[in-house]
Structure 1
Amino acid sequence: MKEIVTIQVGSYANFVGSHFWNFQDELLGLADSPTGDQIFRSHGLNMDVLYRTGETQQGILTYTPRLVSVDFQGSLGSVSTRGTLYNEVPESSVDTLTWTGPVTTHTSQPLKKNLFLQSLYLEETENVGTSRDCGSRNGDFCPEVQDKDIVECLENEVQYWTDFSKVHYHPQSLYELSGLWCDIKDFNNYGIGREAFFGGLHAEEINERLRFFVEECDLPQGIQFIIDDSGGFSGVAGEFLENIADEYTNIPVLLYSVRSPYSSLDSTNRKLTLSRKLHDAVSFSKLSTFSKLIVPMGLPSLRTSRMSKYLCLEDQKPYHNSAVYASAIHSISLPFRMQPLGPSAQLSYTCGAVDVNELVQMLAGQAQQNKVMALDIVMPAPALSDIQCRQSLLENLHPLTPEVAENVEDMHALESMTIHGVFGSGCKRASVSEVKDAVQTAYSTAAERPRFSHLSVAQCPLPIPLPFPSIFGNLVGRHGELLDTPISESASRGSLEVHSIPMAARLRSSSCILPFLENRLENLRKFGIARGALGSELLASWGFGKDDVEDMGETLSNMVRTLNPVSELSSDSD
């Protein structure tokens, strides 16, 4: 088996990760449910790729994500850093014999669990000794709390990413970055993150946690790294990635750099604006250096973007917008855990399985040698009932990557697409062969097609767990089908009304990413490298000398030159 270890660094990355693991937990529950939909009981996915089996000291078998999560101290809300499965009795306090003066102890009350977490606890308490049905929508386990009350609570009260997490975590998974002697809002640049990573024993402790998960793998296929790169956690991740590159030279890293819409707000403070531009350039240069593929994700506004045609999103709610990015990562990662193809595509539930290294070779190992990917999605994906709808699937793929050029003609473009759970004619799920034929037909009539395209297909749609936010519009049906007329007066629908949706996601190696790269190169040259640059002292305070900054500029310049050899920005002159 080829295992994947997942790393989440930063608050927003953990919001995304919380939704991602909720999807996996829901799949596990629905697969075990004897009354569940056959499409989930035969999803054709090997969940052991992402999960590990274990056992508590009490002999209870566990199945937990192979995950290392890093966030601020206090970011776990009411959840312990040891999770909920491996609770230990705290050590009794030992009197200090060398101090004879008075001692004052200050304690704070633990945060109260919200209705959702209370309901999970009651459900598990009532089912001790039995396997938990993670996919259950039955609210009977807690007569006092109805599902609609839980949904309303989450819509209005989510503060921490653990507030809506329905997953058990291993004690080695959750790490809090303690000892930060600054306000959270000041933890906003690459330099302060670098300093924090090496402060205390953070570097050693985080690396040891990763080692715990990697060394128990039989044949690790890769590391799935989700990073909130909008502030100091980018510096933490950069140093962490460098250690990974040194210690695990044969394990490829697939890096998703995510940003919430509110992190993109313009500032009237010129100094802060300069700092952000330099941070973006430095962050991207350093993070890309130690990853095989890097996928920037984070539109300035999801609510007004074209991809949200059937969604009702609130940009100021990370609980909302992180669900979209998690859905995309779930779709893109499906091929990494697909079971081997059956004797006939018509009898198989999946096709197009690849591992992380094969994806890297397809998209970054060919002629262009480009490691920066654009990510596009359709959410929900339209049915494939006729040629027009098949073509609309391609036309409705809209980017989650910021600053990409539209309608770019790139004869060297490479792509990998995943489509799962789409409908065919009528209300039936399309078979694997029907989806393959539909995509082939769509590309045959398209004005442009990539140089190389890989297609992965699964019949299993994206499951919508109870704690998923109410972000679907009233033209989205119970199973994600797109309706001609509104189904209700309410503008938004959530997990109580929509139980699954079809999805399509695509990674592109294309010159469409050039504006993103050129903006970062131009800002680094203008504010960090040019003679008398305003940001040279700032970069020095982050620990970067002149040679370091020039090396970062060369890294970005090479990326631009790879996609556009004649670009003026990629020339050696300033």
Structure 2
Amino acid sequence: MKEIVTIQVGDYANFIGSHFWNFQDELMGLASDPHGDPVFNSQDLNMDVLYRTGETQQGILSYTPRLVSINMKGSLGSMSSHGTLYNNDAPIASDVVTWAGQVSTHVSEHHKRNLFLQSLYEEDQNLNMANEANGGSTGSQREYQDKDIVDSLENGVQFWTDYSKVHYHPQSLYELSGVWMDLEEFDNYGIGRDSFAWTSHGEEISDRLRFFVEECDHMQGIQFIVDDSGGFSAVAAEFLENLVDDYTNTPVMLYATRGPGSNARLQSKKHTIFGDLHDAISFARLSSYSKLIVPIGLPILSTSKASKFLRINDEKPYHSSAVYGSALHSISLPFRMGPVRPTSNACSFSGAVDVNGVIEMLSGQGRQNMVSILDVAMPAPTLTGDNEQSLLENLQPLTPQIEEDVEDLQAVEYLTVHGALASAGHRASVSEVKDMIHAAFERSNMRPMFCHLSATLCPLPIPLPFPSIFGNLVGQRGELINGQLTDASRKGSLDVHSIPMAARLRSNSAILPFLETRLRNLHQFGIERGALGAPLLSSWGFGKEELVEMEEMLSKMVIALSPPQLSDSD
């Protein structure tokens, strides 16, 4: 088995991660349901790749994500930093009094469980009581209606833990002590660098990572998700710098994420320059410590082509992060596909690959480059005999600032399709998916130089706490219904139970505008003589020599992706 350790740094990264882990939990629940849809009963996905088996202090077996989550103090809402499974009681105050002066006590606000978390808590309590009663019935009367829970989440999510249905290990949840500021104030690279002290934070985070790594037999890689819109980018870079030294042979696949609106700049020229420099420094630093970096986060998701069949409220991180979490689930499915069984008559998956295989594929074929574009079709359209082209055409970018309809003869793609529906309403077989995609590429005017296809029958399950973001044209199994798309109607987990998905990573020159903007802003505002942002970068701790190295690295990325006639035209 090849294990993956996941790291989530920052608030929005944890919003995405919460959805990602909910999908894994839902898959495991559906796989164990003897009366459920057989498509979920497949044993082809090895969840041990992402999860670890343990035991609580009470001797109860546990199954928890191999995860390190980093966020601000007070970001866990009603959840304890020890998680919900392990009972680590707070230390009892000593009766010994050695201080005779006045004592001032500051207590943070205690957040109550919402309806969803309260229902999970009561289910666990009922299950424990049934187990103690030697196999008594677990079918207790529901205290809450699903509709009330869904409505509560739609109107009341404040923290990523508010909709998390997963048990976490005590080593997983780390809060940065001493960092109590609002997220609005934690908005640039410099303040993140100032707030993160390696001596007080770094060693403990490294110990937590080591706890999970040392349990692995053969770790295939690290899945790193970071909110790079503010100070957490600096926290992630400091952590990554030490991580790559400790685990030199372990590839890091990094998703640099940000929510809608986080790209918006204040009107003053000064704040615009500060924001542009943050973006340039953040990308340069993060990419220098990862084998492959995938920028994710459209400035406005609700009106993007990726949301054609969705109804997103950009002001709710709970909504937008669900789309990005779905994409990360889809793109990582091949990492946990089991070995093909030769006795199987109809294979339910194809194209298993590990993290290093994808990285080598996207960064090493044809040209060396380390940045990739993420596209998604959510839900993926039905595969029909005369409409297979629509699946590729419906893949829309979640990466910002890219050029559309670019012909790149050296493009490399990694495509995952799962749960695809055929024209008759049944699930398309893996061989049907492969044939359809192959036919689509044959007819395409912009074929990549190389494309790896992974396919599986298992669709994306929609768990109860998933937000109501589907439009009225999405059916119960994710099929697209003919009719007029309306703005008023939103569907959620009570109406849509699963959807077919397609997600793609591509190394393509379409990313050039993204890279060129960061290269230009770094030079213009930070390096050239009289640059307006030079004093700011100096206050962030960056000297001229380090900035020039960043500029050279970004320049190499641009040159690697530029058409030959442009890169050789000096």
TM range (shorter): over 0.9
One-letter code of the match for 1:529?
A: I
- State the shift of 1:266 in Å: 2.9
Aligned to 1:313: 312
Counting only pairs closer than 5 Å after superposition, residues 53-92 of structure 1 correspond to structure 2 as 53-92=53-92
SS in 2 for 1:5: strand
One-letter code of the match for 1:505?
A: A
| CA 1:294–1:90: 2 relative to 1, 3 Å | same
- Separation in 1 of the partners of 2:104 and 2:539? 39
| CA 1:263–1:414: 2 relative to 1, 3 Å | same
CA contact (8 A) 1:50 1:66 kept: yes
- What TM-score does the superposition give when structure 1 sets the normalisation length? 0.95
- Separation in 1 of the partners of 2:140 and 2:313? 31
| CA 1:521–1:141: 2 relative to 1, 3 Å | farther
**Which of residues 553, 557, 562 in structure 1 aligns to 2:551?**
553
Range moving further from structure 2, 93-102 or 508-517: 93-102
CA contact (8 A) 1:387 1:442 kept: no
Aligned to 1:342: 341
- C-alpha distance after superposition, 1:359-396 (max 9, x if no partner): 111111222111100011100001112222x1000111
Aligned to 2:144: 145
CA contact (8 A) 2:327 2:376 kept: yes
- State the shift of 1:18 in Å: 0.2
CA contact (8 A) 2:22 2:164 kept: yes
- State the shift of 1:66 in Å: 0.2
- Separation in 1 of the partners of 2:9 and 2:206? 13
CA contact (8 A) 2:351 2:455 kept: yes
CA contact (8 A) 1:69 1:174 kept: yes
SS in 2 for 1:264: coil
- What TM-score does the superposition give when structure 2 sets the normalisation length? 0.95
One-letter code of the match for 2:464?
A: L
Aligned to 1:541: 539
- Separation in 1 of the partners of 2:337 and 2:565? 40
CA contact (8 A) 1:311 1:472 kept: yes
| CA 1:475–1:534: 2 relative to 1, 3 Å | same
- Separation in 2 of the partners of 1:554 and 1:371? 14
CA contact (8 A) 2:4 2:220 kept: yes
- C-alpha distance after superposition, 1:168-211 (max 9, x if no partner): 00000000012126443221111221222226611111111111
One-letter code of the match for 1:68?
A: V
Q: What is the percent sequence identity of the aligned residues?
A: 62
CA contact (8 A) 2:471 2:486 kept: no
- State the shift of 1:69 in Å: 0.3
| CA 1:96–1:286: 2 relative to 1, 3 Å | farther
- State the shift of 1:34 in Å: 1.1
Aligned to 1:462: 460
Range moving further from structure 2, 518-527 or 104-113: 104-113
Aligned to 2:404: 406
SS in 2 for 1:492: coil
State yes or no: 1:387 paired with 2:383.
no
- Separation in 2 of the partners of 1:219 and 1:571? 46
CA contact (8 A) 1:346 1:433 kept: no
Aligned to 2:184: 185
CA contact (8 A) 2:311 2:487 kept: no
SS in 1 for 2:70: strand
Q: CA RMSD in A?
A: 2.0
- Separation in 1 of the partners of 2:502 and 2:392? 9
| CA 1:23–1:141: 2 relative to 1, 3 Å | farther
Aligned to 2:134: none
- State the shift of 1:321 in Å: 0.3
Aligned to 1:289: 288
In structure 2, runs of 5+ residues without a counterpart are 132-137
- Separation in 2 of the partners of 1:255 and 1:512? 19
- Separation in 2 of the partners of 1:107 and 1:548? 42
CA contact (8 A) 2:119 2:143 kept: no
- C-alpha distance after superposition, 1:249-291 (max 9, x if no partner): 0100000011100212231132221111000000000100111
In structure 1, runs of 5+ residues without a counterpart are 132-138
Aligned to 2:210: 211
- Separation in 2 of the partners of 1:142 and 1:14? 33
CA contact (8 A) 2:73 2:180 kept: no
Counting only pairs closer than 5 Å after superposition, residues 243-254 of structure 1 correspond to structure 2 as 243-254=242-253
Aligned to 1:202: 201
State yes or no: 1:526 paired with 2:509.
no
- C-alpha distance after superposition, 1:200-234 (max 9, x if no partner): 61111111111111111000000000000000000
**Which of residues 421, 437, 440 in structure 2 aligns to 1:439?**
437
CA contact (8 A) 1:119 1:141 kept: no
- Separation in 1 of the partners of 2:362 and 2:108? 51
Aligned to 1:135: none
Aligned to 2:323: 324
One-letter code of the match for 2:534?
A: S
CA contact (8 A) 1:122 1:141 kept: no
SS in 2 for 1:221: strand
- State the shift of 1:402 in Å: 0.4
Count of aligned pairs between the two proteins: 564
- State the shift of 1:568 in Å: 7.6
Aligned to 2:93: 93
- State the shift of 1:101 in Å: 2.2
- State the shift of 1:494 in Å: 0.3
One-letter code of the match for 1:384?
A: L
Aligned to 1:353: 352
- Separation in 2 of the partners of 1:68 and 1:571? 47
Aligned to 1:51: 51
- Separation in 2 of the partners of 1:479 and 1:414? 31
Counting only pairs closer than 5 Å after superposition, residues 145-164 of structure 1 correspond to structure 2 as 145-164=144-163
SS in 1 for 2:549: helix
One-letter code of the match for 2:279?
A: D
- Separation in 1 of the partners of 2:202 and 2:564? 41
- Separation in 1 of the partners of 2:101 and 2:562? 71
Range moving further from structure 2, 267-276 or 421-430: 267-276
- Separation in 2 of the partners of 1:477 and 1:172? 40
Counting only pairs closer than 5 Å after superposition, residues 364-513 of structure 1 correspond to structure 2 as 364-388=363-387, 390-485=388-483, 491-513=489-511
- Separation in 1 of the partners of 2:40 and 2:485? 25
- State the shift of 1:98 in Å: 3.9
- Separation in 2 of the partners of 1:281 and 1:21? 30
Aligned to 1:134: none
- C-alpha distance after superposition, 1:436-466 (max 9, x if no partner): 0010111111112100000000100000000
One-letter code of the match for 1:74?
A: G
